Structure 1
Amino acid sequence: MTKLKMGIIGAGGIAQNRHIPAYQSLSDTVDVVAVQDVNPVNAREAAEKFQIPEVVEDYHDMFQMVDAVTICTPNKFHAEISVAALEAGVHVLCEKPMAMTVNECEAMIAASRKSGKLLSIAYHYRHTQAARTAQAAINAGVIGDPLVTRVQALRRRKVPGWGVFTNKELQGGGSLIDYGCHLLDLSMWLLGDSQPVEVIGKTYNRLSKTPNQLNDWGTFDHETFDVDDHVSSYITFDDGSSLQFECSWAANIKEDTLHLSISGADGGLNVYPFEIYQPRYGTFMTEQAKAAHDEWEAGQRQAANFVNSCLGYESLVVKPEQAMEVSRIIEAIYASSASGHSVRL
């Protein structure tokens, strides 16, 4: 069997904790053959830990060694590296979000189309059993036409105290572009053909700019904190449906909350935990199913889908055009908050 030769660009936590282990569990179809990081020490340590044969200083030098790359860098470099890889004839799986701006997303898609190489974005929540079950139920007509979608991706005090997550220049934003993007992507995927038409949003960072805040995920400098730690938004769609969205790294709430539900004309659905609500047999029915949100399993499924798609055995679950629409909404939420007005898409 033909094996895909994979390179890793960016050797930080997401590469070492998700992508590399997932690929190495698929040793029949893919070999991780090279790694690169802006910090050569990180690259060498990852190579030693995972027995990766090649360490390169310049990611361009990797393109002659591999069939595909997985990009795990700060958001600022997603588009630049993706376009370079695609132009060199290399498939790309890029960590979320797709890029810093919609214009960058468009450049990535153009490079993919011109080269004929695959481009996917690591929105791994789609690969959980909870998400798969929800999509199957929606496709079977359980909810009918969607009316109102509700999303909460809330963390009480989990500002990442490592890496560059709180650096606006390198990341483009905070809780929305880092965490909320997962639930926006999953919502849009489940809503299918619904197209967003207007966005109003508001971003906050007052808590994280206050001295001596409690934080579960390490320490950060409140004086230089310049990204969002709490975001709310209201999104309307061309079919008349709407999405109520909220995410946070830091908020004065009782506990962390992960919620995605859709109320439709024929029924309702909750993803976490998985439940279906319908009026039937003269009463109100609630059905439950075991459908886990297992991110390790999702990471393995994501890796398998990308590898098999590159080898021609499957189609991508996350298509770049879909990921760009998520970035379009993120951009609109930030623009709405800055202007104080809604943004038409």
Structure 2
Amino acid sequence: MSKLRMGIIGAGGIAQERHIPAYVGMADDVELTAVQDVNAERARLVAETFDIPLAFEEYEPLFKEVDAVTICTPNKFHSEIAIAALEAGVHVLCEKPMAITTQECEAMITAAEKNDRLLSIAYHFRHMPEAKLAKETILQGEIGDPLVTRVQAMRRRKVPGWGVFTNKDLQGGGSLIDFGCHLLDLALWLLDDPVPVEVIGKTYDRLSKTPGQVNDWGAFDHETFNVDDHVTSYITFENGLSMQFECSWAANIKEDYTALSISGVDGGMDVYPFQLYQTKHGAVWNSQPAIPKESLSEGFVQAKNFVDSCRGEAELVVKPEQALKVTKLIEAIYKSSEIGSSVKISN
């Protein structure tokens, strides 16, 4: 089978640090054919650095040269570019989140279905060893029916001081839509895509609007900061399941940490680090497996799944309908905070 011709749209940090190196490591199956960026000089330099034959300033000409694209632009442009690519007959892997609004996500799915092309979203936490073990543990019935899920994606002082991460017009939000979305997606995937019913959420930005803040990830302008740096939420689902969710870029906590725990009828688990809690044989049990260290990064595994799916050799791990659900919840959390009351979810 011939190599999949891959194009990169948006030549910033995530493209250079995650996606392009992953495809370089798949040289037997992928040909990095073209890169595009609105900054023509950056596109040219990235093409030169990674030995990519073609560099473009506009994305439309790129579609004629490739079989698939990886979209690494600000969130505002995800839907527009993905739909254009799909309409051109090109498969799409889009960076997270899928898009800023539910309506944009739905339009992307419609375009993929109409043109019989693959569409996937880069929620790479699903490919981590702990996540895969947690998924298998749940599938094997080790915790029974899930009841309560607790999710925390917490950073103490890591507001991204580069790019456009603090620009609401281009990104749609801050810590939730950038960082919290990963853990929200992972939790929904582990829970087998439960149907959300109601959301109450609260967003904060006071720390990052306060002058003189220490920030580990570079300088940003506190006067123009207009996105969330801390978010809390409580989500209920159709089957009685509930989720406590929190994320931050900036919070007065001891240290950064990521936590995802699920309590079920027959057992419970923490994902980071993975531990299983059960009651059996007249005693309570705490089990912590020795997880084999994987030689491949989750970025490479994600890229391989997409490439293999495009070649008809695998099934997408992250399906667009699942990513749509993440965006729907993000949208509801933001709306709940804005109106000061809970939001019912229509499905």
1:338 corresponds in structure 2 to: 338
Provide the rounded CA distance (Å) in 2 between the counterparts of 1:291 and 1:66.
38
Q: Which residue of 2 aligns with 1:56?
A: 56
- Partner of 2:297, secondary structure, is helix
1:106-117 alignment runs, 5 A limit: 106-117=106-117
Shift in Å at residue 295 of structure 1?
11
- The residue type paired with residue 131 of structure 2 is A
Distance 2:282 2:50 in 1: 59
**2:30 alignment partner in structure 1:** 30
CA distance in 2, matches of 1:294, 1:44: 34
Does 2:87 correspond to 1:99? no
1:129-278 pair list within 5 angstroms: 129-278=129-278
Q: TM-score, normalised by structure 2?
A: 0.98
Distance 1:168 1:105, change over 3 A: same
Aligned-partner Cα distance in 1 for 2:321–2:194: 14
Superposed CA RMSD: 1.2
Cα deviation code 1:33-73 (max 9, x no counterpart): 10000111111111111110100121000011000000000
- Encode CA deviations 1:217-239: one digit per residue, 9 max, x unaligned: 00000000000000000000111
After superposition, what is the alpha-carbon deviation per residue over 1:268-291, rounded to whole angstroms, capped at 9, x for unaligned? 011000010000111111111234
**Contact 2:276–2:286 under 8 Å retained in 1:** yes
Supply the distance in 2 between the matched residues of 1:3 and 1:220 (Cα, whole angstroms): 42
Distance 2:186 2:295 in 1: 14
C-alpha distance in structure 1 between counterparts of 2:156 and 2:45, whole Å: 33
**Preserved contact between residue 67 and residue 91 of structure 1 (Cα < 8 Å):** yes
Determine the C-alpha separation between the residues in 2 that align with 1:229 and 1:290. Answer: 35
Structure 2 match to 1:321: 321
SS in 2 for 1:258: strand
Range moving further from structure 2, 238-247 or 190-199: 190-199
Q: What SS does the aligned partner of 1:177 have? A: helix
- Cα shift readout 1:311-340 (whole Å, capped 9, x = no counterpart): 000000000000000000000000000000
CA distance in 2, matches of 1:324, 1:148: 22
State the SS of the aligned residue for 2:239.
coil
Between the aligned partners of 2:185 and 2:17, the Cα distance in structure 1 is 22
* CA distance in 2: counterparts of 1:239 and 1:142, whole angstroms: 19
Identity %: 67
2:194 and 2:328 map into 1 onto residues whose CA distance is 14
* DSSP-derived class of the 1:316 partner: coil
SS in 1 for 2:253: coil
CA–CA distance in structure 1, aligned partners of residues 117 and 182 of structure 2: 24
Q: Which range moved further: 281-290 or 223-232? A: 281-290
The count of corresponding residues between Structure 1 and Structure 2 is: 345
* Cα separation, partners in 2 of 1:291 and 1:201, compared to 1, 3 Å: farther
Give the drift of 1:294. Answer: 7.9
Structure 2 spans left out of the alignment, 5+ residues:
none
Kindly tell me: are residues 90 and 171 of structure 1, through their superposed partners in 2, closer, same or farther at Cα, counting changes over 3 Å?
Answer: same
- The answer to whether the 8 Å contact 1:128/1:292 transfers is no
1:130–1:292 Cα contact (<8 Å) kept: no
- Runs (4+) off by over 6 Å: 292-296
Contact kept in structure 1, 2:123 and 2:318, CA below 8 Å: yes
Deviation for aligned residue 1:293: 9.5
Cα contact 1:18–1:296 (8 A) shared by 2: no
Q: Partners of 1:293 and 1:275 in 2: how far apart?
A: 16
Q: Secondary structure at the match of 1:182?
A: helix
Question: Partner amino acid for 2:63?
Answer: F
Are residues 15 and 257 of structure 1, via their aligned partners in 2, closer, same or farther at CA, if it must alter by over 3 Å?
A: same
Alpha-carbon contact 2:193-2:322 (below 8 Å) kept: no
Map of 2:17 onto structure 1: 17
Q: Note if contact 1:128-1:293 (Cα within 8 Å) is conserved in structure 2.
A: no
Q: Contact conserved, 1:336 with 1:342, CA < 8 A, in 2?
A: yes
What runs of 5+ residues in structure 1 fail to find an aligned partner?
A: none
Compared with structure 1, are the counterparts of its residues 294 and 329 closer, same or farther at alpha carbon in structure 2 (3 Å cutoff)?
Answer: farther
Which residue of structure 2 aligns with residue 303 of structure 1?
303
Trace 1:65-76 onto structure 2 (pairs within 5 A): 65-76=65-76
Residue type of the alignment partner of 2:212 = N
- The Cα offsets for residues 72-96 of structure 1, whole Å up to 9 and x where unpaired, read as 0000000000000000000000000
The structural deviation recorded for 1:240 is: 0.5
Further displaced range: 206-215 or 23-32: 23-32
Q: Rate the CA distance shift 1:157–1:293 in 2: closer, same or farther, 3 A.
A: farther
Q: Residue 88 of structure 1 aligns with which residue?
A: 88
Normalised by the length of structure 1, the TM-score is 0.98
Residues of 1 paired with 2:226 and 2:336: CA distance? 17
